[in-house]
Each structure stands twice: as structure tokens, then as C-alpha cells.
Amino acid sequence: MTTPRLTIRAFSDDLAPAFYDINAEWIEAMFVLEPVDREVLMNPRARIIDTGGAILFVEAEGLGVVGTGALRPASGSAFELTKMGVTETARGLKAGEFLLAALIARAGQLGADPLYLLTNRDCAAAIHLYEKLGFAHDAGIMQTYGALYQRANVAMVYRGFMPRSPL
């Protein structure tokens, strides 16, 4: 079997439904959509793009858009890596790793310092991927930002090299 070619697409309003659907799929499979989830997923332009953030999508040749992730400005120069998910049909294609690398590169372009994420220990595969690409567990991030989501019991900060040149 040949692995489909993966490409990155930036947010456009016609991709907003995919942003919602991909994230709602994985959140509802493991947790409950919280009010903060609904607000961001239903208003990605207003809640992420217009505030200086970014939303990227990964597209697999022959499958279309199979994943998405966002960089949400937090406080100062801090950015949260958030709302990252890959469809069930694309698991095993390395789409998540490809997308995460692109999000890290975009965070560098945005001057993210720090780049952090909040997740749940039940998301073991995602945590492994984050660790593989340079994120480390961080109690200070949990203390500062962890109250945003009820399900958040893991906080990580990016410790790897963050390229600052365009993708």
C-alpha cells in the first residue's frame, strides 16, 4: 500500500466545518464537548484567526482534509497548541506528526514563547507524539493555564528547536 501524499493548508472560511467536525469527532469519542470547545469550534475565525492565531489543516491525497490544529494566542507571546485532531480514517498515515511539525514551524513564525498545550492522560498516543516532537511535561503551564478545560490534567511546553523562517 502506498502512503498518500500529505500537504498543509491554511484556514479559509470554507474549511470551518472541517475544523468543527474533526475536533468534535475526537472530543466526543473520549470526552464531552465543553462550552469553551463549542465557542472555539463554532467561531474559529473570531476566536483564533482574528486574535492573531492560526489554524492549519492536513490533507491526504485521495482522502481530502483529514486533520487540523490551531495556535491560539494566550497571554503576552504565549500560544496554546489546541484543537488538534486527525480523522479515524487517516490514523496510521503519520498525518498527525506531519501536522504537528507544521504547527510548530508556524508557532515559530508567530514568535510563540512559550508554545504549550493542555491535554488528558487518556490521550496516550497524542502525548507520545508531543514528546517525540519536543514537548515536555510542565507543572508551571498546568498552574497557569490548566483551568481552561475541565478535562485537562496534562500540560506540556515545547522545548525543541522552533524554526522562525516561513514554511
Dump the DSSP string for 63-114: TEEEEEEEEEE-STT-EEEEEEEE-GGGTTTTHHHHHHHHHHHHHHHHT-SS
Pairing, β 115-119 against β 135-137:
unpaired
Q: What is the pLDDT of residue 4?
A: 87
Contacts with 50 (C-beta within 8 Å, 6 or more apart), sequence order: none
Q: Is residue 109 scored above 50 in pLDDT?
A: yes
pLDDT at 111 > cutoff 80: yes
CB 100 within 8 A of CB 37: no
Sign of CA dihedral 138, 142, 99, 73: negative
pTM to 2 decimal places: 0.93
Q: Bridge partners of 136?
A: 157
Q: Does domain 6-158 have CATH number 3.40.630.30?
A: yes
Alpha carbons 67 and 91: distance in angstroms, whole number: 10
Residue 127 clears pLDDT 80, i.e. is over it: yes
Dihedral sign for Cα atoms in the order 10, 15, 16, 20: negative
At 91, the pLDDT band (50, 70, 90 cuts) reads: confident
What is the C-alpha separation between 135 and 75, in angstroms, rounded? 19
CB neighbours of residue 136 within 10 Å: 12
Summarize the confidence of residues 19-41 as an average pLDDT: 94
Q: Is the pLDDT of residue 164 over 70?
A: no
**Residue 149: pLDDT above 90?**
no
Confidence of residue 148 (pLDDT cuts 50, 70, 90): confident
Mean pLDDT, residues 38-47: 97
Question: How does residue 167 score in pLDDT terms, banded at 50, 70 and 90?
Answer: very low
